[in-house]
Structure 1
Amino acid sequence: MQAASPPYRCLLALALLTGALAPPPARAETETAGAATPIHQLRIYRVHAGNEGPFHDRFRDHALRIMARHRFDVVATWQAKSDAGTEFVYLLQWPDAAAMKSAWDAFMADPEWAAIKKETGARHGRFVDGIQDRTLQLTDYSPQRGLAD
């Protein structure tokens, strides 16, 4: 069996540090409250070599602010280094798949985001060499129903 890659070790460490592996509330409490089970989205960007600083500047100073305007719930962000280069990893929480799709559509169509991408791309070149995107659905036996409080 292969060892977990750096981003997954980061997620496990986060779960252990934040108490995400604590026992869930009683099933009856969760169902009675009528709380929908959130979904999570794991995004992993392979950052173009040499553009790590400008990438983080753009994400921190612009992307997060614009994402917040479109109701993105960014749970955490990480940087992972491997032989393949630098990866930027972040985890989002969504109420459901429809909210995720709607928010991403709005973000990608946002004129401010388009202008920032155009300007920073012209100045620095390519920021990302590849993106992995995974929608994570909690199992009914997950110890934690949601990560963002």
Structure 2
Amino acid sequence: MIHQLRIYEIFESSKAAFHVRFRDHAARLMRQHGFSIRAMWETATEGRTEFVYLLEWPDEAAMTARWADFMADEEWNRIKEETGADRPLVGAIEDRVLWLVDYSPTI
């Protein structure tokens, strides 16, 4: 099992719209595509607001395949276009794959 840490820069001016889109659309569609969202957070560092979430995957092949399916999803692409047409909802995106070390407590 592996985990994936995603960090999105979000903007104060569009933060509410971002959360609506993620909560009402992205998270739902991700679950339909086999994503296991373990937790979500918001944080602020040095003048930057971030939305952070943790995914759990059985292996890298599943992660790659499910992301490809999600990114090709017609409904998701339509929603992304409609909700981000007048202003960007996300800036920089960081993506990290995490492998547990043998002495880590299980999550």
TM range (shorter): over 0.9
Partner of 2:96: 134
Q: Within 5 A, what are the aligned runs for 1:5-84?
A: 38-84=1-47
Deviations 1:58-86 (A, max 9, x none): 00000000000000000000000222221
Stretches of 4+ moved more than 4 A in 1? none
Partner of 1:14: none
Pairs aligned (count)? 107
Higher strand share: 2
Partner of 1:35: none
Partner of 1:125: 87
What residue ranges of structure 1 are gaps of 5+ in the alignment?
A: 1-37
The structure with the largest alpha-carbon Rg is: 1
Deviation at 1:49, TM superposition (A): 3.3
TM-score by length of 2: 0.95
SS at match of 2:12: coil
Partner of 1:143: 105
Deviation at 1:93, TM superposition (A): 0.3
Aligned-partner Cα distance in 1 for 2:2–2:50: 22
Aligned-partner Cα distance in 2 for 1:43–1:139: 19
Aligned-partner Cα distance in 1 for 2:42–2:6: 12
Question: Identity of paired residues, percent?
Answer: 53
TM-score by length of 1: 0.69
Q: Over aligned residue pairs, what C-alpha RMSD do you find?
A: 1.0
Deviation at 1:89, TM superposition (A): 0.3
Does structure 1 residue 95 correspond to structure 2 residue 47? no
